[in-house]
């Protein structure tokens, strides 16, 4: 009974809050949802009359919600597909894209592995099965054991597009639920290789990656992703219906401010470069 009363009270309270000010709904990418939540908490602290509701569900879910008009802001870890842009046009939605943060995908080795760097071509060979032995990339004579993510993961899709040129992963790739599991597996498997967000590095070492064979190999870090020298990185977006105005504009410009980007950095996302943040700020 007490519980019901508390629930009822909360409900009334929340309705009251919603009615008092502006409500902003944000929906989409699971990669971004943690950052969105932190931003929302901070923003609501500064602006008590604004209520921000955040939910995840994946980039695709968020984009669908934007097209159906059920969300104000869509978070996405990828750009909209041509098909989605066309659908938006049909529905009279004008997607407006803002980069709010960056995300780097690191390649992990076991700490005992003597290999230090890989080129895109080598990475592609390893993950498509053309290169099967560490010997071929300067390591010991041992079979390369592949770890990856399930095929519903955004990281899976991004790595496949960026590094494998959309070719299929080798069928021997062991797919694991979550980056933490990949890191754990590689930390225990001398001949393992895996990929995932750069914030996860307990017990494994990062591979330095070069895009073309002549490029210098770069280790992933907040700095190298932020200044664009680390090659396996992506922008994380917020989509609006039309150029944001009023409270929405205030919110997005705040996330791009020094304060907003600092919050991103604090919880292990990669902030935009100063120029990048400025270029994305809504005028």
Partner 1 sequence: MNRLKFKSKSKVREFLGEKLIAINALAALVAIVLIFAFIFKEAIPIFTDQEIQQEASIAKMTFKQEFYEGRDPKWSWQPNSEVPKYSILPLMIGSLKAALVAMLFAIPLGIGAAIFSAEFASQRLREIIKPVIEMLAGIPSVVLGFFALIVLATVLQNMFGFLFRLNAVTAGVALGLAVIPIIFTVAEDAMTSVPSSLRDAGLALGANHWQVSLTVVLPAALPGSAAGVVLGFGRAMGETMIVLMASGNAAIISSSLTDSMRTISASIAAELAEVVFGSAHYSVLFYLGTLLFVFTFLINLGGELAVTRMKQRLQGKLS
3-state helix, strand, coil in the chain (%, to 5): 40, 25, 35
Distance CA 183, CA 37 (A): 25
Candidate residues 98, 107, 185, 209; the one interacting with partner 1 per rule CB under 8 A: 185
Is residue 177 part of the contact set for partner 1 (CB under 8 A)? yes
Among the listed residues 91, 135, 143, 243, the single contact to partner 1 using CB under 8 A: 143
Using rule CB under 8 A, residue 21 touches partner 1 = no
Name the segment binding partner 1 (CB under 8 A); options: 116-124, 129-137, 186-194, 255-263: 186-194
* Alpha carbon distance 13, 19 (integer Å): 10
Please tell me whether residue 194 binds partner 1 under the rule CB under 8 A: no
Q: Which residue has the tokens 């992506």?
A: 234
Shortest spacing between CB 87 and partner 1, in angstroms: 13
Q: Indicate which single residue of 85, 96, 156, 254 sits in contact with partner 1 (rule: CB under 8 A).
A: 156
The closest alpha carbon to 232, from 124, 104, 109, 127, belongs to 104
* Direct distance between the N- and C-terminal alpha carbons of the chain, in angstroms, rounded to an integer: 52
If binding is defined by CB under 8 A, does position 70 make contact with partner 1? no
| Residues 44-63 as x/- pattern, contact with partner 1 by CB under 8 A | --------------x-x---
CA angle 86, 168, 82 (to 5 degrees): 5
How many whole angstroms separate alpha carbon 139 and alpha carbon 144?
Answer: 10
Considering only 176, 183, 232, 256, the residue that binds partner 1 (CB under 8 A) is 176
Alpha helices in 47-71 (DSSP H): 59-67
**Applying CB under 8 A, which residues contact partner 1?**
58, 60, 143, 145, 150-152, 156-157, 160, 166-169, 171-177, 181, 184-185, 188-189, 192
């Amino acid at each position: 009974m007490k519980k019901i009363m508390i629930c009822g009270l909360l409900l009334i309270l929340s309705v009251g809050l919603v009615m008092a000010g502006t409500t902003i709904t944000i929906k989409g990418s699971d990669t971004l949802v943690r950052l969105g939540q932190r931003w929302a908490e901070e923003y609501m602290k500064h602006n008590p009359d604004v209520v921000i509701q955040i939910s995840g569900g994946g980039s695709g879910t968020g984009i669908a919600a934007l097209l159906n008009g059920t969300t104000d802001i869509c978070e996405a870890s990828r750009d909209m597909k041509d098909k989605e842009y066309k659908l938006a046009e049909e529905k009279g939605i004008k997607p407006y894209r803002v980069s709010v943060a960056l995300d780097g995908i690191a390649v992990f080795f076991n700490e005992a592995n003597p290999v230090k760097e890989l080129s895109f071509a080598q990475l592609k060979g390893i993950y498509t099965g053309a290169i099967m032995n560490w010997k071929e990339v300067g390591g010991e004579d041992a079979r390369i054991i592949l770890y990856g993510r399930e095929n519903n993961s955004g990281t899976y899709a991004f790595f496949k597009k960026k590094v494998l040129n959309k070719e299929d992963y080798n069928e021997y790739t062991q797919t694991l639920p979550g980056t933490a599991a990949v890191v754990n597996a590689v930390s225990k498997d001398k001949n393992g290789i895996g990929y995932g967000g750069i914030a996860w590095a307990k017990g494994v070492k990062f591979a330095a990656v070069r895009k073309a064979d002549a490029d210098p190999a770069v280790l992933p870090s907040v700095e190298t992703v932020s200044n664009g020298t680390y090659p396996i990185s992506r922008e994380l977006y917020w989509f609006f219906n039309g150029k944001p105005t009023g409270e929405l504009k205030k919110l997005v410009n705040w996330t791009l401010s020094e304060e907003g980007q600092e919050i991103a950095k604090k919880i292990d996302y990669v902030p935009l470069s100063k120029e990048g943040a400025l270029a994305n700020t809504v005028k």
